[in-house]
Structure 1
Amino acid sequence: MAPIAETPTIDRAAVLLVEDMPALARLYIETLSKVGIAVDHAETGAEALAALAQGRYATVLLDLNLPDMNGMDILQHIRDQQIPVAPIVITAHGSVNTAVDAMRLGAFDFLVKPFPGDRLTVTVRNTLERMRLQREVDAWREDLGRDRYYGFIGRSPTMQAVYRIIDSAAASKATVFITGESGTGKELCAEAIHRRSPRRDQPFIALNCGAIPRDLMESEIFGHVKGAFTGAVADREGAAVRADGGTLFLDEICELPPELQTKLLRFLQTGQVTAVGGSRDRKVDLRIVCATNRDPAEEVRRGRFREDLYYRLLVIPVTLPPLREREDDVLLIARQFLHDYAAEEGKTFGDFDIEVAEDLQRYAWPGNVRQLQNVVRNIVVLHDGGRVSRAMLPSPVRSLIPAAQPSRPIELPPPMPSGATSPVRPLWMVEKETIEAAITACDGHVPRAAALLGISASTIYRKRLNWEAEGHD
């Protein structure tokens, strides 16, 4: 196989020409090179198969009559091996049947010898453009279509943004600062960063700074030597040493006492650990990921968290959205929990009734994913059946879904003078008309209407309930 000197290419896509006649091969190569398309040439089917195995070509110009095999066999090989290449078949024996057979095997286009140079150029350009667009679509589908990601469940745009940050940050050693309400999955995020990183085979050590007594915190992080304090009967490695080579996750970082914040700052600057009661420093190589459910900037303003430590930690911020802002993720997560817990408990649940699905979507979930998880587990443990009915919802959730209330009189302003009209209408009326018009335009599909309006589906459900309760239906 003779590679042609590389020239500026369209999207840097490479073309493999499979042609056993040298004169024709030179003609095709010269024609395509003039428009900046680089071509590699294979004279036999065996050379073509070896070249295709490299997986670097966007398209292949394939003569069907080769000295060692039929071009159809190469098409079949491309299809069987799912090689991402768009074949263009070239033959001097064109017929409708041959074209149909080639297209059935995955050929993108069909050229019958002899053909003009501009026909070749246009065909190859179109094929390369198609492959470029296909790569973009595949990339977007992979990036935006993920509904599972290292333990996370969710396909909403806000979660896709979180996945992209983790993808970008994982390979670095830079400190990650995760914020979000309780129950949004901060430790899951830290684990995803670790599992996505080159440190994935090294330790992941998690430490909850809010669950450790104040006087033991330093020892838990940095370790201690025998006799350092009452009860220290032996040397003990801290979390920082156990995480050497891997990731140290400090959850609820804002709970650290001020004196320990100073020591943590020194550790971040030097990378050296000094055990409590010890005199020797130990160098460690680890990545710090921290999290809090508080507003760290507010903690700094109130003097409860060191400003220099805050900015030392705030290299890559990740904000996990509350469940109420994740649109249709609620049902996706709930159904996964239902499936898992039903299998675990030996129950027959398969899905939620329609009204229950609507209830779950409109509920605000102040406890986020953790609360949803507990609600579904409660249902599965205490009930059984093919579908979850509204009667099975635990009282905290069921009681917070308001029932329709009787209409009550609305106090109207004094009537306008005869013949006069007011240019101002109540805000709820304008809002209701806009939302209902969007739902009608979307054939009753509330999530689609919500997306067009730039709000979440749960917002629409809550507003509808409020209008009903206030007699605005």
Structure 2
Amino acid sequence: MTPQPLTPDAVGMVSPTRAQVLLIDGDPAALRVATTAVANAGGEVATTIDPMTVKRAGCAHGAAFAVVDVPNREALELVEALVEQGLVVVATSGAGSVALAVEAMRRGAVDFVLKPYSPDALARRLAPRFAERAPAAPKPTRVLAQPAPDALDFGGFVGRSAPMRALYAEIERIAPSRAPVFVTGESGSGKELCAEAVHALSGRAQKPFVALNCGAIPRELMESEVFGHVRGAFTGASDDRAGAVEAAQGGTLFLDEIGEMELALQAKLLRVLQTGEFRRVGEARARNADIRIVCATHRDPATEVAAGRFRQDLYYRLHVLPIRLPPLRERGEDITALAQAFLRRFADEEGRSFRRFSDGALERIRAHDWPGNVRELQNVVRRAVVLGDGDEVTADMLPLAAPAASPAVPSGAGGSVSDAIEPFWLQERRIIETAVAAFGGNTARAAAALEISPSTIYRKRERWAELGA
């Protein structure tokens, strides 16, 4: 399916007060997500264009902004052409290359968003750009504001429970500082969302926000991804490449699952914090690093230090402004509000008619313990929307176990609780394969639903094949 320019009937009459946005992407699913994001950020899609057919000159279509997919280096020419025409360009890509992000921004893009992204994630990156060019409107001193008592969100968060209100206030106090932020919380509780909120409220909001998951990068490539490398630094280094530190220059570098970083690399990161300098792999000269570091882990950092897996000196450098994210089970009625927000979003994205949950479904949602936190809730709702039908989600559409009692020890010879426990990788494989099947074998969409990179799914499948699983 080739994307076609949207007609006035498709997007409504062009509004002179809303930012006009050009979308260039060959993936219809990505275009739907981007269209939702533009609307959420207060903009309006002027037209959509297939990057395979777009002309390099005169393709602005009256837009002031462009969201451009950059699948490879050849597409960088289009970024440059649009910037020359005066458009504010936000580049996106599923390639996952820090070097591609750096090159896109060197060509004039103001930001780079890694695919797959959610509408809210892209909207948070677009909203400040729209606000910068808003005509005759006083610029707010902050991109985000403390929510009113009846508001349901703050930045990208949804919820108004007491723990979340305390979190919002803490983020507002911490954000203007230049000091490092250390975010802790269970997996799926929204650590990257917290980092983005800190960045958006800081004085660096108009500079890049670069996120790097230390647990998703092979150890042998980690140093290059963080600091970059020069040509010939190691086998396969055929050209110079910038790393995440360079890509985040002037902005914020978010290091997720920092506990997965090797001790030797932790020492080099400590030097960046101490001196404000870094070196690409294989390079003699030092470069300046003007970045604010926000890091996160789902582990207890003090325990990791005691076990010798995390450098104590780095811990004290990073653990200046700690933030703890509450697990979903502590957030009361936020669970219902989140479920409703996810239902609206996914129904719109998937073109379904779902608009509410039945009483039985809500009861089941409230009774569940949500060990996977917000990410688990998000995946459960999305699966119900994709696989179900109608305008109401019922209890039997939710792939949740009934409220579990304390496990009983099985009776019979040799029976024990441990007999029912299976290896973690088996559970992980079941979750991933179920998601891939739910999206008809589309790995990219399954990865988006699971909030992981498609390369993670490919890598894990290779590992399972090695195990003969």
| Shorter-chain TM-score tier | 0.5 to 0.7
Q: How many angstroms apart in 2 are the aligned matches of 1:314 and 1:143?
A: 31
Q: Distance in 1 between matches of 2:396 and 2:171?
A: 40
Which letter maps to 1:315?
V
AA in 1 matched with 2:376: Q
Tell me if 1:375 matches 2:380.
yes
Q: 1:218 — aligned with what?
A: 223
1:321 and 2:326 aligned: yes
Summarize the Cα distance change of 1:206–1:377 in structure 2 as closer, same or farther, 3 Å threshold.
Answer: same
Alpha-carbon distance in 2 for matches of 1:339, 1:366: 23
Matching residue of 1:200:
205
Aligned to 1:295: 300
Q: Structure 1's 202 and 342: CA in aligned 2 closer, same or farther, altered over 3 A?
A: same
Return closer, same or farther for 1:153/1:141 CA change in 2, 3 Å cut-off.
closer
Is 1:353 equivalent to 2:355 in the alignment?
no
Q: What secondary structure, in the 3-state scheme, does the structure 2 residue paired with 1:155 have?
A: coil
Whether the 8 Å contact between 1:187 and 1:251 is mirrored in structure 2 is yes
In the alignment, the residues of structure 1 paired with residue 153 and residue 392 of structure 2 have an alpha-carbon distance, to the nearest angstrom, of 24
Aligned position for 2:265: 260
Q: Is the 8 A contact 1:158 1:321 kept in 2?
A: yes
Q: CA deviation at 1:146?
A: 3.8
After superposition, the Cα gap between the structure-2 partners of 1:312 and 1:346, relative to the gap in structure 1 and judged at 3 Å, is same
What does residue range 45-444 of structure 1 map to in structure 2 within 5 Å?
142=147, 144-394=149-399, 397=400, 399-401=401-403
**CA gap 1:172/1:141 in 2 versus in 1, 3 angstroms:** closer
CA shift in 2, pair 1:258/1:363, >3 Å = same
Q: 1:402 to 1:295 in 2, by over 3 A?
A: closer
Give the CA deviation at 1:341.
1.1
Between the aligned partners of 1:167 and 1:145, the Cα distance in structure 2 is 18
Residues 243-269 of structure 1: CA deviation (Å, up to 9, x unaligned): 110000101000011111111111110
CA distance in 2 between partners of 1:188 and 1:390 (Å): 29
Retained in 1: the 8 A contact 2:271–2:278?
no
Describe the SS at the equivalent of 2:323: strand
**Cα deviations across residues 255-307 of structure 1 (Å, max 9, x unaligned)?**
01111111111111001011111111111211000000111111011111111
Rounded to whole Å, the distance in 1 between the matches of 2:186 and 2:392 is 31
Highest CA radius of gyration, 1 or 2?
Answer: 1
Q: Distance in 2 between matches of 1:244 and 1:141?
A: 28
Structure 1 unmatched ranges of 5 or more: 1-139, 404-473
The letter for the 1-side match of 2:221 is L
Match of 2:233, as an amino acid? A
Give the deviation of 1:352 after TM superposition.
1.0
Q: May I ask how many residue pairs the two structures share in their alignment? A: 261
Contact 1:249–1:289 (CA under 8 A) maintained in structure 2:
yes
Counterpart amino acid of 2:387? L
1:241 aligns to what SS in structure 2? helix
Superposition TM-score, scaled by structure 2 size? 0.54
* Cα distance change of structure 1 residues 237 and 343 upon mapping to structure 2, 3 Å threshold: same
Give the Cα–Cα distance (whole angstroms) in 1 for the partners of residues 161 and 344 of structure 2: 21
Shift of 1:402: 5.1
Contact in 2 for aligned 1:146/1:160 (Cα 8 Å): no
Instruction: For residue 386 of structure 1, report the CA deviation from its aligned partner.
Output: 2.4
The letter of the residue matching 2:259 is C
RMSD: 1.6
Q: Secondary structure at the match of 2:198?
A: helix
| Structure 1 residue 168 displacement after superposition | 0.9
Query: How much does 1:355 deviate?
Result: 2.0
Deviation, structure 1 residue 347: 1.8
Give the Cα–Cα distance (whole angstroms) in 2 for the partners of residues 149 and 142 of structure 1.
6
Q: Percent identity?
A: 57
Which deviates the most, 348-357 or 244-253? 348-357
Name the SS for the 2:304 alignment partner: helix
Tell me if the contact between 1:331 and 1:360 (Cα under 8 Å) persists in the aligned partners: yes
Tell whether the 8 Å contact from 1:144 to 1:160 is kept in structure 2 after alignment.
no
Q: 1:339 to 1:315 in 2, by over 3 A?
A: same
Decide whether the 8 Å contact of 2:175 with 2:198 is kept in 1. Answer: yes
Aligned-partner SS, 2:364: helix
Displacement of 1:145: 4.3
- Residue deviations 1:41-85, cap 9 Å, x none? xxxxxxxxxxxxxxxxxxxxxxxxxxxxxxxxxxxxxxxxxxxxx
Partners of 1:247 and 1:332 in 2: CA distance: 30
Residue 147 of structure 1 deviates from its aligned partner by: 1.9
Residues 177-212 of structure 1: per-residue CA shift (max 9 Å, x gap): 000011001011111111111111111111111111
- For residues 298 and 144 of structure 1, do their structure 2 counterparts lie closer, same or farther at Cα, with a shift above 3 Å needed? farther
